Structure 1
Amino acid sequence: MYSMPRTRQDIKHERATSPIASVMPGTMEPPPPVAPSKRRRLDTQSTTQSITQSVAPSFVRSLAPSAESRPHKDDDGEPIFMEMKRGPDSFRSGRQGTPGSQTADTSFGQLQQSFAHPTFAGIGQKQKACNDTLGDLQTLGVSHVAALPELVLVGDQSSGKSSLMSGLARVNLPRSAGVCTRCPLHIRLISSKSDNWSCTVSLQRDYDFQPQPNRKPRTSDVTAANPFPPWVKMSHRNIETFKTIFDPSEIEGVLRWAQIAILNHTKNFELFIPDEGFIAKNNSLDVAASETEAQFSPNIVALEMKGPGLPDLSFYDLPGVFQSPEKEEDEYIVKVVKNLTREYIKRKKAIIMWALPMNVDLENSITLPIIREAKAADRTIGVMTKADQLPPQNIPNWLTKFRDEKKLIGHGFFATSRPPDQLLEDVAKWEELFFTHRADGSSPWPTEFDDFLDRCGVEVLLKYLSSKLGEAFAESLPSIKETVYRRLTVVQSELAALPELPVNVEHEVKRSLVQFLSQVKISMKDTRFSSEWNTLNSQFQACIFKIKPTCKVKDSELQTIDLSGGDSEATPTPSRRPRPSDSTMRNVATPSRRQRQDDPVTPTPTPIKREDFPPSSVSRASSIVSATESHSLGPFSRYASLGRLAMDIRDIRSRILRNKRPGMPRDLVPDEVRETLCLDAVKKWEEPLRTYVDKTEELLKRTINDALQESLGTLRRRLIFNECQEYLEEFIQSTVVDQTARLTDMFNNETYQLYMMNDDVFHRYKAEEMEQLKRVRGIIRLKALTLLDWGYTANRRLEDMSEEEKTKERKMLETQLPKIGKDPFDTEIEVAGFVRGYYMMAAARFVEGVTLNVNASLLRAFREEQLDMRFDEVFNIYSHSDPRQYARLMEEDEETAKKREQFKGETEKLERAMHSIIELEKVSGGTSFGYPNVTIVNSDSELEESLFV
């Protein structure tokens, strides 16, 4: 189709026209009627559901279909092309699209049809306000709450993105490779009535820098869970204003320094502010760029530009995708940049601007597979760059893309030409002339593309982008408002749940501490604590008596008797004569052992059992053994075998012979033998004593912490709670260390030398031990000489025997033992009885002393005033102190304070977002429906009160 050549006046008129004016209703006539056979019918049922199931209660969808709301089917026929008629205010004066032009979204002026509620019916006519509101929401960083429509510029490295971005922003932005390709940019353009131009550069940090020590990231570090190593996602966004400038010529340098600052995450960004920061003043850009902490960052450098004639638009520019880095060590950045591009492209509300240069084949694009993988082709706008470098042989290929015969992307293609050697003030005019026919009909732009001149030039692209972005935002606005409001109520509820500072801080601190100290005393005297500690004492006592040294009374290969505790065991050895089974030699109270027959010979006696005492004995031994029987060993169970096989009558004889001086009588035992055996026995108390102290400390800590929770539980988020815990831990640790030292002294006293003062108690214990040893030894001797039936057992507990059985056994031993003569090991048996008797006396003395000392020293410190005095020294409970100290104690702990600040920050962002949406409603002439009244806060300072009342 022939297009009339354009005049200079036409060009001037178009360039002076606001982008908004070009997309007002009526700029394009509706298409002619389509034959009934070609019409697509609307699903009335789905339309009805879209009304009744409105996303937001304040916005009811109209019957008019929104943009691209028709369901797509795989079997859809050929598209119906609309004939574009020339309107009085068309995009290009004297130019008209043809039926061959792309059909996707060509009616730029029908924006109002996409709004869902009458409240927003006028927003389509207020595109500037719409895009301004969207820019506000993007800057606030509320996309984590509600998905926002956004423009995202992507493409391969060296695809002409930088020139395109400069054209869209109408300002000179860095175009060379290097630092500009190492982090995303967010550019927001705001048209203002003022003649002044300004640009505020800020750093938007969503990720924290957490490198691994002493090594750079590797390709293997890049995973689905960790897409941007060494950067880790934070829970909230931090925004820092870098610098505001008023001269467009400064923007390139400021932008480069801002990106260097964002790549040095751990350093103060103010060091990199041009003409102000120390590093910026003393280093060149190239040097600073080569010394950054990170080679890449997913954090954003944001530019907000205000000035006359700027399009009301905001978009993201991502680093170009590439295949091979300059350095092998930067190979991981290839995957990271792809992940970043994928992250933005997969956002459902994102409109993708795909930059592809016309001087290379489209099939070589690295970005296209990422777009297809994210199923974002229908949301993509193809922007052909470097149209002035189009090789003639590639014209047919690009004509195919313009015609979109393969439906490659949803929004079709645009062509741009922005040579980097052109000045900013000249490049727009140059592009106009490039795509325009001269008076003689010639043009540097091939005539084959005449049918698509309505898709050529950055200015046309800007209008289309502004239209589509506003349309998408207006369509999403009801759900955005509801989502933001719901999140705001949740955050406000969380914020209200955090404790507030009490009115009278000093009184609250002192009252809480006095209550805690009182609760400690009550808990220490409580029956629950006393019962638990008494059980621990009994278990400790049972353990100490349990590990009394056992004695092997065997003196031949015929039989082994292991005398342990209160019981004896015999293990028969091979014999030519028949012998009873082992079951007759074991405790009758153990059925499982009675069932075993003819155990083979073993050099190790069978497990030990408790020793019994004559019921007539009135000594303390009976009560001690009874306690041992009645209490489990609990945490001391692992020490139950410490005393097993501690003595052997043959070993005792060897010790006596080694220590006896020449000429000494045979039955005279050197004192060293008795003392060594006694001290060896009591040295085994060290480990049980350590366990006893540890368990007492655990019980003490648990009781005190319960008192702390009960008294100060409501203040657990305050510093007073944490400091009380710290000082309690310190006090408990100090008192336990002192107590351990005292108990260690007691243990060292017992193991220093054999010592006794209460001879009566010792002789009573020794007599009981001798009685048992001689009884078992005598039975073994008689059975070995076949004077006693093999079925008779010596392991039977005396208290399990009837009086008749005891009398019978006693008479039997008195009758039979004289027949076999004196026991050759009677001296060794006496030594064993001496050691076991001394052990029992020392054990009773030790257990009594340990538990008494713990009660009178360690526990006393908490029952009386020692803890009170310590806390008074620290917190001045009973005296006056600086009020600032009490205020400090009632401050929140670090975690809660951080959470509170996060909630405050998010509340402020969401309140500002709601404020922007409500202001947009006002501009459109609507009112807010379905939500509480909102108090408008016209201030950029921190919002002290909630907007909702």
Structure 2
Amino acid sequence: MLLEMRHRPENNNAGNGSSPSSQNADTSFAQQSFAHPTFTDIGMKLKACNDTLGDLQQLGVSHVAALPELVLVGDQSAGKSSLMSGLARVNLPRNAGVGTRCPLHIRLIGSNNAHWSCTVSLQQDYDYQPPPGGKIKRSDVTNANPFPPWVKQSHRETKMFKTIFDPAEIEEVLRWAQVAILNHNRSHELFIPGEGAVAKEMELADAARETQAQFSPNIVALEIKGPGLPDLSFYDLPGVFLSPDQEEDEYVVKVVRNLTRDYIRREKAIIMWALPMNADPENSISLGIIREAKAADRTIGIMTKADKLAAENESQWLAMFRGEKQSVGHGFFATSRPPEESLDQAAKWEELFFTREVGSWPGDFANYANRCGVELLREYISVQLGEAFSRSLPSIKTKVYHRLRAIEQQLTGLPELPPNVEHEVKKSLYQFLGRMKTTVKDTDFSSQWNTLNDQFQACIIKMKPTCRVKDPDLQTIDLSDADTEASAVTPSKRPRPNDSTIRATPSKRQRPEAAAMTTPVKQEDFAMTGMMRASSVSSSMQHGTQSPFVRYFNLGRLAMDIKDIRSEIMRKKRPGMPRDLVPDEVREAMCLDAVKKWEGPLETYISKTAELLEKVSNQALEESLGVLRRRMIFKECQSHLRQFLDQAVASQRGRLSEMYDSETYQLYMMNEDAFTRYKAQEMDQLTRARAIHRLKAVALVKWDYQIKKPEDMSEEEKHEERKILNNQLPKIGRDPYDTEIEVAGFVRGYYMTAATRFVERVTMDVNSSLFRTIGDSGLDVFMDQKLGVFGRAGKLSPYHIIKIHYYGTCTLT
């Protein structure tokens, strides 16, 4: 199609005959000239024109030469999704469609091949650069910065996403492609359904909620090939709207309008303006943008949802068909595609609707039957696009030619490659890969990671469920691990009874009704097996760092209450069971509730580990390839390194998630010795606190008696406390809540057993899996696959030598 255009010399000697040779020359010239009548039917060769146009659009050369293009715009809920599915002859997502958060480019190619295929790719013209605080305000959207936090790149990057051969897969693939394009700074391969680590581990809905960006001007592109498809390409833009769901997304309103305005202003664009017939066209936001851009002459009006037309509004829409209202250059078409129908059924229904065999299409519109239906619209826009391209082809060729000459001049100005470029590049790469192998084993990294492990461990310990040992009629004692020092018992504010009276008649003393009163009692520190060490609780302070887990410390505070434990036992107990016999499901449910709180700390742990890895990896890259920082090799290595780490961390996150799921699935323990030891320690603390609480309630222990940690007590103080408890407890009889205390001790004992196991498993798996992947040859293989620098007898290709070493600072697009 890109034939060379030449000026045809005028023949002043019209009367002279032409020689055969000159006639042949004229014939040859005519075959190369767009002005010759031979080319007058070029607009009919729609397939060739539209195929070539589609190729140019995918190459992203619009910054060199303006290309004719079809752009579908409209307000939210204008029926664009159903219209787009009809034009593309494929069931695309509707309602919460893929086009809501980024533009979509659909290219249809008719093929003689019986097989249908769809290749999805990401066309990235913008780089994601969020502000330091991450928050974007409406005022940040300006003429100079129309799509914050997206910044225009010097050239387009096209990343292949996935090719599918079953139309039923298109919705899932498109939705994941949108998630990938909204996570610009992560590898798109993580989000490929059925292949990527994130797509395997996360639900699509969760991934869509957790994207880096809320909106992107970058494009998700579809190239659909199949028999019977029209040769057509068009853009579908997100619907413009007035207000977002969340106040913090107000800026998106302006960004979407700017995007629509940007496409409409393109001088070669043919605008397809969708407006529903169940709404007032005067209220169309898109129409205002079209008029502002003075693009009405280039606009095709498409009335959607014709089956929703109210009888009282018929005259208004007839006036638009006649060009009397909201006039546009290409006039109006009407369509009706019920979203609940399948593709084939919707097409049949639409045909019957406009022939008035079904539905209630008014007879007054019969004069416009040649403009009703998606099929007729598709034929019209295909012809319009082909003709526009044929008219633009000479100027496009001229602009591309001039751009090519400018690039060639840039290339001639580049310095010659030195003779040792291959050695220099490969030496730096080998140094980088070698440094990465030792990074996860060196002292500095190990120290930082050990600090993180200690902080994670300390967090899990601090989250142990505390118990409110509150006698319903008396005060409250709160067993809390959150304090760093033993807390004094808070004196009661009620009148203190006479000690002698109470000691004289303890059995007749009725426990007074009083408000609950919380008395913190510090849990004793005790020896821990495995990784559990008493020093871990304060490890973050020892290393002089603030623990990233602080917000989780109090998740276990007051998680149990002896009254609630009793209620749960009574609710689950079968008739006739003894009072002190506790159903197994009560213990299991309470134990699992305690460990389910680990999900947040676990996510923080793997995220902080990933940050640490990224930090030391970038440092290794800088130390090894810093001299090539301005070259393409540095940027490529940085990108591939981030992609490798993303994949490795995502895989590790999946493994840790499985560990968490196994801990929260059911109560399980094999190390009964450790459980027995932990439970005994917890029971000692609970029964001691409960005993002091009961004795204070009946004034057999002074109200100002301070409960200290055992390690803070002298032997004399311990002996005196044991003496008081041994002498006074028999006077008040059996604790009515001894069963509930035992259940609380069981839960806390199991928690410590499971916590020891969980922290050990998590940290060991990260070390033996994630770090091992980096320390072994995994990164070497990955880099070789991406860069191809160590294959074929260790030779770098000339392409990589040039691109890696010298073209890093030259824009060749």
TM-score, normalised by the number of residues in structure 1: 0.43
The alignment's TM-score, normalised by the length of structure 2, stands at: 0.50
